[in-house]
Amino acid sequence: MNGIEIGRLLRSGTAGFVVGCKVTQLSAPSFGALVRVPLEEGYQVFGLIYDIHIEDDGLVRQLITAEGVPEEVLQDNRENRNVPVEISVLALGYEKGGKVSHLLPPRPPLSLDVIYLCTSEEMVHFTSAGRFGYFRHILRDEDKPVEELLAAHLGQARQAQEEAGNSEWYEQAMAELITLMRDDYPNLMSLLSAVGEI
């Protein structure tokens, strides 16, 4: 069950990992997208893209000072040069032997493991398991744009779930989030505002 390959693993830890990809691969991944890393037969780690980072370098900075950048130079910088595109992923859970868990994975992916974008079916499979336990991991880290991330994820998951005939999933997810964030009124309001733009 392969899908769209978005890159390979640069570094990882239990709570998340960073994927490197070529600029030409950058059209597929998006903020809030669910990804998976197959590690061995029957075991794969799931995560959510929370940051896509494009580093600059001396040459790029110098090119910006020119009046016009020819198309060949643009393509050279995107295809040939090691423009480091880094995609940061928050670990949300794993699947082992066909059973999805929303606990952190027992061991992280290894360097150069391939990362795939989840298909709609895979997204439904992961987000339907349990009772939204993976929201814990998203809400835990205050350094990330949590409300925006949740809104992006909910929008994508809602569409996949509705296509699969689960029209009640979104309401259940929102009810769970309101319960989890009931003591954090400002951020809850911020989430509701972000979700309102889906």
Partner 1 sequence: MPVNLIDIMKRIERYGAQVGERYSNIAARHVKVADLIAAYADRLEELTARFNRAAEVIPRLRCAVPTGEPLDSAIPMPDLPDRYTLLASDGSQINPSRHTRVPFCVINVSVLKMVCGSGEAPQVHTESQFLDYDSLFLPEGGMVSEGMVALRRDLWERQALMEWAGDLEHPAFAMIDGPLELIREPRESSGFSRFMDQYLATLSQCKQENLVLLGYIDKSQSDLISRLLELVALHDAELEQYHQTPRRFLGVKDISFLSDLLVNPGERSAIFAIHSQSAQLFRDDLALHFFYLNVGREGKPHLARVEIPKWVASDQELVGTLQAVLTAQAGILGTRPYPYLLHRAHEEAIVPISEHQHVEKMIVAELERRGIPVEEGSNKQYHKDLPAGKTRYQG
For partner 1, the closer CB: 2 or 62: 62
180 to 100, 119, 149, 186: CA distances (angstroms):
21, 27, 16, 13
**Cβ 78 to partner 1 shortest distance, Å:** 7
DSSP labels for 123-146?
Answer: HHHHHHSTTSTTHHHHHH-TTS-H
For partner 1, the closer CB: 79 or 168: 79
For partner 1, the closer CB: 4 or 23: 23
**Cβ 80 to partner 1 shortest distance, Å:** 5
**Cβ 84 to partner 1 shortest distance, Å:** 14
Residues at the contact surface with partner 1, assessed by CB under 8 A: 59, 62-67, 69-73, 75-76, 78-81
Structural element, H or E, at residue 51: strand 43-54
Query: CB 48: neighbour CB atoms within 10 A?
Result: 25
For partner 1, the closer CB: 1 or 66: 66
Token pair listed for 69: 């950048």
**Cβ 79 to partner 1 shortest distance, Å:** 4
For partner 1, the closer CB: 78 or 96: 78
For partner 1, the closer CB: 70 or 165: 70
**Cβ 77 to partner 1 shortest distance, Å:** 9
* CA 166-168-170 angle, 5° bins: 100
Q: How far is CA 150 from the centre of its chain?
A: 11
Strand pairing class (4-12; 16-21): antiparallel
Distance CA 26, CA 22 (A): 7
Residue of 176, 180, 174, 175 lying closest to 195 (CA atoms): 174
**Cβ 117 to partner 1 shortest distance, Å:** 25
